Amino acid sequence: MEIRIDKNVVEFSPDSDTETKQLEDLWRLIVDCARFNRKMVPIGEYIPSQKNMARFVIEGEISDELQEKFADREGRYVCLTCNKYVILKQGDQVPICCGKLMEFYD
């Protein structure tokens, strides 16, 4: 596996079919377009002269079901992360944006 680092961007390029499958499995474990993405956080230490292996823990929740919520009143619902908003009527389903349910904003 080739690893390239460009400032704060890391690229992984698999060198075999096995590594491609492993990278795809890791991607599916971490990336969730509809909700929060999980993140890899280093644990322990990496000292190649002692043990040539780095360890990471994957943080964040895994949820198999999308949260479902309906607007309890008519008005503007806002994503507090990206500031996108929608106008909903009472009973409309509240959309998910940036991994969380949009919130009522008066």
The answer to whether the predicted template modeling score (pTM) of the entire model surpasses 0.85 is: no
**pLDDT given for residue 63 in this prediction:** 57
All residue ranges of the chain with pLDDT < 70 are 32-36, 61-67
- Which tokens go with 71? 């607007």
Contact 38, 60 (CB under 8 A): yes
SS3 53: coil
C-alpha dihedral, 88 to 93 to 96 to 102, nearest 10°: 40
Q: Which two tokens stand for residue 93?
A: 């389903």
Read off the tokens for 5: 């680092």
